[in-house]
Structure 1
Amino acid sequence: MPPKRLLHSWNAETHEDVLIALLDIMKPVKEDWAKVMENLREKGYTFSEGALVNPTVWDHDAHLTLLQAVMSENPPTADEWERILKRVEAKGYRYTPSAAM
Structure 2
Amino acid sequence: MARTLQNWDAETHEAVLLALIDHMKPNGGDWAVVVASLRPKGYTFTEGALVYPTVWDHDAHLALLQAVIAEAPPSNDEWTKILERVAAKGYSYTASAAK
TM-score normalised by the chain length of structure 1: 0.85
* Residue equivalent to 2:47: 49
Give the length in aligned residue pairs. 99
Cα shift at 1:24: 0.5
| Structure 2 CA distance for aligned equivalents of residues 39 and 77 of structure 1 | 42
Give the structure with higher Rg (CA): 1
| TM-score, L = length of structure 2 | 0.87
- Larger RCO (alpha carbons 8 Å, 6+ apart): 2
Aligned counterpart for 2:5 among listed residues 4, 7, 30 = 7
Which residue in the other structure is 1:80 paired with?
78
Q: How far apart are residue 4 of structure 1 and its match?
A: 1.2
Unaligned runs of 5+ in 2: none
Shift of 1:75: 2.6
Percent same amino acid among aligned pairs? 67
Structure 1 segments of 4+ aligned residues over 4 angstroms from their partners: none
